[in-house]
Amino acid sequence: MQMPKYQPINRGVKMRPIHSTENNFGLTQEEFERFVINIKSGDNSFFKDVLANHLPNAMSYLKSKYTVSHDEAYDTCLDTFVSFRNKIINDKIKYGNLRFLFTRMCSNAFIDRRKKVAKTNESISVFLTQCESNQVEQEAFFESLDKAVAELNTDQQLLVRQIFYSKKTLKQIAEETGQSYDGLRKRKERVLRVIRENIRKYI
């Protein structure tokens, strides 16, 4: 009886890890590499389609783990969407369980947002406590705030009224006005920066 020939194992060749396309937004590694090239060339259409399909899953994870509102989960995931894209452009994200990475980034972003909100609320609380002991200081602050807002242009004042008086989210404003979410987020940041700069002149 003839014995089968021995086939030696080539231990010098490293096998590439096998990743499930299901864990990578349905992309193979080759498709992901083309995906990265498209993003770097400015074509974001496929990127939006891929992550849009995963966005509801990430939002559901945040809502179940942290008991957050739909709008807060949506805002957090959109911010992560931008961050994730930038990391891909800067070659900081590699193929392999992309769904888990995006969800984890959403989770970390939400925790950071909560910390910032808590810090802001604490600062406001301290400020109001100080003002309660001195009514004059409190009145002076709100008078200065009114003056600072009055120096904004018409569009900026409208955005302030929509966010802080009508209590609308950026998503709601975007849907009502047809403006992009990212554009509104940047406008809000600029408006708050201008208010802070203006208010220093009166305090």
- pLDDT of 129 reads 67
- pLDDT of 127 reads 65
> Looking at domain 134-203, which of 3.90.600.10, 1.20.1050.10, 1.10.10.10, 3.40.50.2300 is its CATH number?
1.10.10.10
Check if 20-132 and 134-203 are the same fold. no
Structural domain boundaries in the chain: 20-132, 134-203
**Fold of the 20-132 domain:** Rna Polymerase Sigma Factor; Chain: A (1.10.1740)
- pLDDT of 128 reads 59
pLDDT, mean of each 10-residue run, the chain (203 residues): 43 50 87 88 78 85 89 89 90 90 91 80 67 62 79 86 85 89 88 82 68
CA-based nearest residue to 171, from 49, 163, 110? 163
- pLDDT of 131 reads 55
Q: Decide: 62 and 111 in contact? Cβ < 8 Å.
A: no
Provide the whole-model pTM: 0.51
